[in-house]
Amino acid sequence: MSEEIKTTQTPEKKKRIFSAIQPSGTITLGNYIGALRNWVKLQDDYECIFAVADLHAITVRQDPKIFKKNILEAYALFLACGIDTSKSMFFIQSHVHTHAELAWILNCYTQFGELSRMTQFKDKSSKHADNVNAGLFTYPSLMAADILLYQADLVPIGADQKQHLELARNIADRFNGIYGKTFTVPDGYIPKVGARIRSLQDPTKKMSKSDENVNSWVAILDKPETIMKKFKRAVTDSESRVCVGEGKDGINNLIGIMSAVTGKTAESITAEFEGKGYGDFKTAVGEAVVEEVRPIQERFEQYINDKAYLEEQYRKGAEFALNISRRTLDKAMKKIGYLPK
């Protein structure tokens, strides 16, 4: 009788993802489709760490009362969008002091020339010429600290964030080259669908709440009638056929949005609206978006009216984050030569 050999297979370790979004007070449809909704999808396949990046927000002057309100509402809205604290670590950045501490260390391993080449620094400097502060210049080092503290394998990024991730990789490589393996060098994770939603009024630009024309962007918490009004005013072109094509940036954008919120392909959308005008199509896109955000708005109202629950969640998240990030910070400080605490 042959002896039965039993083998145990160790489950493959999930890769770790880190991502953070500033508490701007307004989460747009572009933010949701390009980032937040993808966060939710990632939770089953990756070890996810998410944060409300409130330290980054003060490179621009904030009204204290509004800022405090925005932070809490951002946390509640991210939960409403589907961040599950039983699956993911989710915290408020300023509650975890290791971010600021490692940021200072990494400042000293980031070259002036690297920071001066950051496109977003140039853009924000021109928009806020009266407040070109040091934080605005060095915040990519804080962003690198955010990622490297958690030994993240992957960072979800849009096309406009590749430069920041590349800098984080360069800093990690530089530090590792001097002191030996300390930080995981992260790779970018670029969503395949809906990564870049365009302005409804100027579809050559991405959707952004900083656009002075409020009809150019849709907020997740906009009322249904406001959403419908914005889509009905969306820029199209002189043709009347709903299809993807060159020179049809407005319609291409609306098809992309429709596809993102319904799961339909561009081909099936084109077939569905064959022979119908742009007015019908814009109304249909608006209605689809209203239905997409309706449950989010309902959950948000529940969370924002339960302050005790929100506090319980963000305190727990900060405690977990500190326990993990402290190990990385201590390791980096030991490598440099600091005395142990």
When pLDDT is averaged across residues 258-283 and rounded to a whole number, the result is 94
pLDDT of residue 210: 82
Asked whether 201 and 213 are in contact (CB, 8 A), the reply is yes
Residues 288 and 317 grouped into a single domain: no
Place of tokens 């030994």: 151
pLDDT of residue 11: 57
pLDDT of residue 3: 43
Q: Is position 23 within any domain?
A: yes
pLDDT of residue 159: 67
Region of residue 241 (phi > 0: left; psi between -120 and 50: alpha; otherwise: beta)? beta
Residues 162 and 267 grouped into a single domain: no
Asked whether 323 and 89 are in contact (CB, 8 A), the reply is no
Q: Is position 1 within any domain?
A: no
Residues 181 and 127 grouped into a single domain: yes
The domain spanning residue 92 has which CATH number?
Answer: 3.40.50.620
Residues 238 and 113 grouped into a single domain: no
pLDDT over 60 at 71, yes or no: yes
The set of catalytic residues is 124, 206, 209
Q: Is position 91 within any domain?
A: yes
Q: Is position 159 within any domain?
A: yes
Q: How confident is the model at residue 36 (pLDDT cuts 50, 70, 90)?
A: confident
Residues 81 and 113 grouped into a single domain: yes
Asked whether 73 and 23 are in contact (CB, 8 A), the reply is yes
Q: Is position 9 within any domain?
A: no
Q: Can you give the residue range of the structural domain that contains 28? A: 16-195+307-336
Residues 260 and 156 grouped into a single domain: no
Q: How confident is the model at residue 195 (pLDDT cuts 50, 70, 90)?
A: low
Count of domains observed in the chain: 2
pLDDT of residue 252: 94
Residues 144 and 64 grouped into a single domain: yes
Check residue 129 and report its DSSP letter.
G
Residues 153 and 283 grouped into a single domain: no
Residues 181 and 52 grouped into a single domain: yes
pLDDT over 50 at 55, yes or no: yes
Residues 127 and 48 grouped into a single domain: yes
CA atoms within 13 A on the CB side of 251: 22
Residues 58 and 45 grouped into a single domain: yes
Q: How does pLDDT run across 118-158, given as a tens digit for each residue?
A: 887 777 776 777 878 888 899 999 999 999 999 999 998 87
Q: Is position 188 within any domain?
A: yes
